[in-house]
Amino acid sequence: MTEALLGVLGLVLALKLLGLVSLYLRVRGMVLRRPRWRVAAEGEVPGWLEAFAAPAVARLTTLGFEPRGALATVGFDRQLDDESHDLLFEHPDTRTWAFVYLQPVVPTGRPLFVDLVTWRRDGGVYMTLATQPGVADRALEGVELEPMPHLSLGRRVMHHRFRVESMGVEGAREMTLPGIAEDLSRRHGAMADAAVSRGEITPQADGTLAYTLGGALGVLRNIVGGLGGEPVATFHGSWGPDRLGDAPPPVHQARIHDELLLLTRRRTQRSARLWVFAGTLALFAATLIGRVEPLTLGLLIGVLLLHELGHFVAMRACGYRETSVYFLPFVGAAASGTKPEATLSERAVVFMAGPVPGLAAGLAMMHTLPTGAQLAWWMPLTLMLVYVNLFNLLPVLPLDGGRLVERVLLSPFPRGEVAFKALSAAVFFGLGLRADEVLLMLVGGFVALSLPAGFRAARAMQVLDLPGPLPRAELYARLDAAGFASMRFVRKFRLVSDLEQRLQAPAAPPWLRLAWFAAYLGLLGGAAWAARDLLP
C-alpha cells in the first residue's frame, strides 16, 4: 500500500512537471506585439463596451471625473491583431486620469476595471491599479505602481487624491489625449527595446516579437515564484453588487475565447515535441526502474510505443493537426492530435489503430515457435502485446474501446455520455478496490472529474436546441440567456469549446454508427477468442 501511495505521489509530481513544460512551450509560442496607443476616432468605441461600462462611468462622474475620449491599443502580449479600447476620464482638480477598460485576456467574472494615473512634472508616473500588475507592467521605467484590488473605486480615488496632494498638486502635469497615447507608446516601447537588448525577446520577420529561451524561462520563474502571472483580483466597485455579477458582453467573451485558443493551441516546433517525448519517456522509465526488470521495462516501452504510433500514424493519415506522442509516469503513454471536423469514420479508425497492430503482432507470435535465443523475451513480449492492447479495447473510459463506444454510439446523447462516464469511473474504482491498486482508483478519479463538464454540456445541448454551428459570440449570448451567465469563465470556455466540437463534427447516419460498433465488437470478440489460451 505504501508503495502504491508513493507511486500516486510520483504521478502527481510528474503531472505538475509536465504542466510546467506545457506552460513553458506556451510562453515560447506567444506572439508579442510592440505596444502602441492611438486616439480613437469618434464613434469608433463599440456600443456594447460603452453600455457595459455605464455604471462605472456614472460612478466616476459623481466623483468629479469628466469624459475626455478613448484610446485604441494593442498590448504587449495580446494574441489577436485587433485593437481594444480604453475609455478615459480626467479629474480637473488633481489632473488624475481614469482608464476604464475590459481585461483583454484573463477571463474573470467581473472583467471591468478602472486604473487611476497621474503624470508628474518630474517625468514620473503614479498609478493605482484595480489588478495585480503583470510582469510587463513591473518593468516600466519611472512608473510607480500601487495595486489596490481590495479597495472600492471610491476609496481608491480618495487614496490616489491624497497621494497626489501630498506630492503637491502643482507637481502634476497636464496631459492631453494625444500626449497620453504618445507617452504610453514610448514607455512601453522602451520596455520592449530593453527586453530585446537583454536577450529576453527577439524580433521576428513579420514584425512581431517572441520570447527567447532565457526570456521564457524568466517568465516561468516569475510565475512559479509568484512574481507575475497572478490571477486578476476581483474588482470591488462601489456601484452595486448586482451590476458586479454581470457576465462580460458575449462579443467580449468570444474575444477572450479567441485569445485563449491562440495561447493554448499555438503550434509548437517539432523539436519541442521531440523534447517532450524524450523527457516523458525518461520520466516514465525512471518511475519503473527498480520495480521491474530492465528487460521487462524495455519490452513494455516498445509495446506502448507500437500502440501509440498506431494512433499517431492514423491521425496523420486522417489530417489531424498538432500530433504528438508522450508518456505518462506509472500509467503508460498517449497520442494526441486535433481535428474538430473529423468524421465518425476517421475517429473510429484513429481509436482502433492503436490496439490493432499490437494485437496482430501478439497473436502472430503465439503461433510462431521461438528459437533458443528468443526464449528469454518471446513469451513476455507476446503476453504484453496481447494483454495491453486487449485491455485497451475494453468498453470503459478512458481506454480506446470506451472512447470508441462513446463517440460511435453515445455522441448524439449527451446524457448517455455522462452515464457512461459515471459507469466507467465506478468500474475502475471497483477494480482498484478488488486488486488493492491505488493507480486504478486514481484513473477512476480522473474519469469522475470529467462528470461535471459532461453534465454542463448535456444541459446546454438540451436547453439551447442548437441548429448547427453558430458564430462564437452568438453561442455565448445564447448560453447567457439560458442561465449560464454566472458560470466561471474557464468552465464556460471549456463548455463552448465542447459545444463547438460537437457542432463541427459531421453528422453520421445511424447505420454507419451501428456498422462501426459491430466492427468494434467483432474485433474485441475475435481477439479475445484468438487469445483464449493466454487469458486467465
Point out which residues pair with 98 in neighbouring strands. 89, 116
- 234-277 pLDDT, tens digit per residue, is 333 333 323 334 567 888 888 878 777 766 655 556 666 777 78
φ and ψ at 439, to 5 degrees?
Answer: -65, -35
Average pLDDT over residues 180-205: 86
- 356-374 pLDDT, tens digit per residue, is 999 988 888 877 767 665 6
For the beta sheet containing 112-119, the strands, ordered from the edge strand earlier in sequence to the opposite edge, are: 36-39, 66-74, 84-91, 96-102, 112-119, 125-129, 143-147
CA 209/CA 31 separation, integer angstroms: 6
CB 69 within 8 A of CB 39: yes
Average pLDDT over residues 326-331: 79
Work out the mean pLDDT of the chain and round it to a whole number.
Answer: 80
CA 403/CA 392 separation, integer angstroms: 10
**pTM (predicted TM-score):** 0.73
pLDDT at position 178 is: 94
CA 356/CA 386 separation, integer angstroms: 10
* Residue where the block lists cell 453558430: 470
Q: Which of 358, 355, 364, 437 is nearest to 394 (CA)?
A: 355
Average pLDDT over residues 153-158: 88
DSSP states of 80-120: SSS-EEEEEEEETTTTEEEEEEE-SSS--SS-EEEEEEEEB
φ and ψ at 324, to 5 degrees?
Answer: -160, 160
The answer to whether residue 4 scores a pLDDT higher than 60 is no
pLDDT at position 351 is: 92
* Residue where the block lists cell 513476455: 380
Q: Is the peptide bond before 398 cis (omega within 30 degrees of 0)?
A: yes
3-class secondary structure, 329: coil
pLDDT at position 266 is: 53
Within a 10 A sphere around the Cβ of 317, how many other Cβ atoms?
12
Average pLDDT over residues 24-33: 73
Within a 10 A sphere around the Cβ of 47, how many other Cβ atoms?
9
Tell me the pLDDT band of 231, cut-offs 50, 70 and 90.
very low
Q: How many residues does the chain have?
A: 536
CB 118 within 8 A of CB 170: no
CA 470/CA 368 separation, integer angstroms: 56
Average pLDDT over residues 415-444: 86
CB 306 within 8 A of CB 469: no
**Hey, what's the cell of 136?**
510587463
Best mean pLDDT range from 290-304, 387-401, 436-450:
387-401
Q: What amino acid occupies position 302?
A: G
CA 421/CA 429 separation, integer angstroms: 12
- The distance of Cα 58 from the centroid of its chain, to the nearest Å, equals 36
**Hey, what's the cell of 207?**
514584425
Point out which residues pair with 118 in neighbouring strands. 126
CA 408/CA 30 separation, integer angstroms: 36
- 468-479 pLDDT, tens digit per residue, is 778 888 898 888
CB 424 within 8 A of CB 402: yes
Point out which residues pair with 211 in neighbouring strands. 201
- 520-532 pLDDT, tens digit per residue, is 999 888 888 887 7
**Hey, what's the cell of 467?**
441548429
Delimit the domains of the chain by residue range: 31-264
Q: Is the model more confident about 372 or about 319?
A: 319
